Structures are given as structure tokens and as C-alpha cells.
Amino acid sequence: MRKFIIKVNGNSYEVEVEEVGVAKEVSRPASQVAAPTPAPTPAPTSTPDPAPKAAEPKEEKKEVVVSAGQEVVEAPMPGSIWKIEVKEGDTVKAGEVLLILEAMKMENEIVAPRDGVVASVNTTEGAQVNTGDKLIVLD
């Protein structure tokens, strides 16, 4: 029996753990390991290649211009914009939710870093964003 002290959210818990067995490492000599066999490749056909398609236009991110005195709210992590709570011209207080970013199945509230007015919203609901993308500009 082994004893551990575990801290969770500032609370200490004493935990006793019982050993149930010994782990063993099993290995085979290299001569007994079967090498993977490659899958047979189909013979090439004589059908002509289809004409190449035009590349689909990628969604371009517009350049965000920031003036002196403005503050940019950036994406803290990659994810998708689930909901935008503000629009241009809205007055916001520090800590107010600006938008919700979904990342790894979790909804993360992106809040205003200070009081201000929303100068521009540079994303849309459903858009994929990367860390550092400029989402909102505050005056």
C-alpha cells in the first residue's frame, strides 16, 4: 500500500493506492517479427485524365488596420467562431463577452479587455480562426 497526498482546487486529499501486480515488458527477437507486406498496386488504366478543375477560392482574411488608441482582441487559440455577441458601434465594458470561440468541443468566452466601443468585427459566425487572428477592434 502506497500513500499519496493529492491537491485538487486547493484541497488536500490523502490517497492510499494498492499495488495489484507487477508490469512486465514482453519483447520478441527480431527474427520472429513479421515484416509488413506491401499491398499490390493496381495496373494503370489508359483512360484520359479529366481536365484540371479551377482551384476554389480560399476565404481570404481581410487586413485589419489598427489606429493609435485602438486595441485588438485576438484569438487565444485555434477554433471556430460559435457566436458573436456584439456588432460595430456597440459600447462594451471590461469583461463583457464579445464572442464565443469553440475549441476542442468547449465554448470559450472571449471578453473585452477594457471599456470601449466596437470599431470593427473582423470575423463571422462559423469561421475557422487561428491563434493570433484579429477578431475585434475596440476604440
Give all domains of the chain, ordered by start, each with its CATH number.
Answer: 71-138 (2.40.50.100)
The x, y and z cell numbers of residue 87, run together, are 456588432
Q: How many helices (H) and strands (E) does the chain have?
A: 0, 10
Higher pLDDT, 34 or 122: 122
Q: Can you tell me the mean pLDDT for 1-19? A: 81
Which residues does 102 contact at the CB level (< 8 Å), separation at least 6?
79, 80, 81, 82, 108
Which residues does 135 contact at the CB level (< 8 Å), separation at least 6?
72, 73, 74, 75, 81, 98, 99, 110, 121, 122, 123, 129
Asked whether 137 and 120 are in contact (CB, 8 A), the reply is yes
pLDDT at 122: 93
pLDDT tens for each residue of 19-69: 666 655 656 655 555 556 666 666 666 655 555 555 544 445 566 677 788
